[in-house]
Amino acid sequence: MTIKYIDLFCGIGGFHQAMKRIGGECVMACDIDESCRKIYKQNYNIDPLSDIKDVDPNELPDFDIILGGFPCQSFSNSGKKKGLDDERGQLFNYIINIANIKRPKFMFLENVKHIRKIDNGKVFEYLLQQIDSIGYSCNVIEISPHELGVPQQRERVIFICIRNDIYDKDKKIDYTPSNKQIILENFLEKNPDKKYNVSNEIKSVLEAWDEMIHHVETNEKLSPTILCKEFNSNYSIEEFNSLANWKQDYITKNKPLYDKYSNKWDEWFQKYNSLLTKREVYCKLEWQVGLKKENDSIFNHFIQVRQSGIRVKKAKYFPTLVAIVQTPIYGKEKRYITPRECARLQSFPDDFIMHTSDNIAYKQFGNAVNVDVVHHAISLTLSQYPC
């Protein structure tokens, strides 16, 4: 018998891709974003509804599973973290209403791991209470694509909800990933278009920072965030105390590094002053790759130009794809990763039809659920609970 499901907050169909591997049939999809609905139609020949608020559960056909990567902006570190005070955070209740009326066997819901901590755990507790109140047992797992052999660190929580009348407490499902080997080259495009190269300005900024990194001794600690504009600042006690706590902390912790290399820093900052002060982010370096290694370089790693500064991360796997403009830079090739590479990092197949606008495609993949992650949770559950 074919497994039938509805795909809520469907985006471009990460859950749909996972169910396609299982042989599921989508009987309804829904998303507020018009460009996502168009991509969904192009790939799956299904017209998603536009707003979950307009869905009448009584008019839906019967189905076995509810799937939903419900909006995470109100819970995410990259959002404003308003939780249930945000209207988007309240959309979870529409899932609960549909489930309460239609009584599917399962719900698989995805969100950011930070949802556990919002409002001291009260939001997470509320979600579990709502699931329990309509007669579902819930197991919450935390998983990232890099644990499944995909080179992206993207921790997410999956709510695995099973209707109480079919739930068997004696069935213990081990969702522990197998930690497959990551082969980075399998996810990179060969000879990508030169339009993805970083701009000359960004390249110059990175080369400037790389020059300074080469002056630093091996095994030197380069964290927390280096604020090079603050090395020669002379604050009065009152002025310093008026600064944000994080800035006071960074300045204090940067001081030994500056004192040790003061001549080099001064010469370097004078040389690149006009470039580094062009944008505030250029003056800040987040070195998140541990102690400096011998002959290390900023270009050995992945880089993101963020509001918080130039973030450098280990090249073992890509930083989390997000829906805002923080497209990772592949340091070795001095270029941004391509939309197709983003698709691969979200475990979408190479025949997936992407949006023709790179900016929109980046946003859509940043918002998508990772196919391998949700397939892992769904397939293991259904292996113990056949529909």
d(CA 150, CA 347): 8
pLDDT tens digit sequence for 339-376: 999 999 999 999 999 999 999 999 999 999 999 999 99
The full set of domain ranges for the chain reads 4-181+362-384, 194-337
DSSP, residue by residue, 113-140: GGGGTGGGGHHHHHHHHHHHHTTEEEEE
Give tens-digit pLDDT for 235-274: 999 999 999 999 999 999 999 999 999 999 999 999 999 9
At 89, is the pLDDT very low, low, confident or very high (cuts 50, 70, 90)? low
> pLDDT digit string (tens) for 160-199?
999 999 999 999 999 999 878 999 899 999 999 999 999 9
Query: Interhelix angle for 122-133 vs 92-102, to 10°?
Result: 10
| Right CATH for 4-181+362-384 from 3.40.50.150, 1.10.3720.10, 3.30.70.1400, 3.40.50.300 | 3.40.50.150
| Residue 182: alpha-carbon gap to chain centroid | 18
Token pair for 79? 């959002």
Residue 115: strand, helix, or coil: helix
* pLDDT higher than 50, residue 80: no
Residues 6+ apart with CB under 8 A from 59: none
Q: Spell out the residues 6+ positions from residue 42 whose beta carbon is closer than 8 angstroms to its own.
A: 353
Query: Is residue 36 annotated as part of the catalytic site, yes or no?
Result: no
Looking at the chain, the whole-number percentage of residues with pLDDT higher than 90 is 83
Q: Are 7 and 28 a contacting pair, CB within 8 Å?
A: yes
- Say if residues 335 and 329 touch (Cβ distance below 8 Å): yes
β partners of residue 246: none
Q: How far apart are CA 224 and CA 248, in angstroms?
A: 12
Length of the chain: 387
109 to 160, 189, 298: CA distances (angstroms) = 7, 31, 38
- Please determine, for residue 59, whether its predicted confidence score (pLDDT) is greater than 50: yes
> Mean pLDDT across the stretch 64-85?
64
pLDDT at 81 over 50: no
Q: Which residue has the tokens 């340091």?
A: 331
Indicate which residue of 72, 161, 228, 342 is catalytic. 72
- Token pair belonging to 340: 């197709």
Residue 77 in this model has a pLDDT that exceeds 70 = no
Strands ordered across the beta sheet of 329-330: 226-227, 284-288, 309-313, 302-306, 329-330, 335-336
pLDDT at 214 over 80: yes
Residue 353 in tokens: 């039809």
Q: What is the DSSP letter of 79?
A: S
What pTM value is reported for the model? 0.88
CA gap 43, 116 in Å, rounded = 33
Name the nearest CA neighbour of 261 among 292, 286, 238.
292
What does the angle CA 357 – CA 205 – CA 189 come to, to the nearest 5 degrees?
40
The token pair that represents 233 in the structure block:
């600042």
Condensed to tens digits (0 to 9), the pLDDT of residues 128-142 reads 999 999 999 999 999
**Whole-angstrom Cα distance, residue 121 to residue 251?**
32
Distance in angstroms (rounded) separating the CA atoms of residues 135 and 104: 11
CB atoms within 10 A of CB 58: 8
In the chain, count H helices and then E strands: 11, 12
Mean pLDDT, all residues of the chain = 92
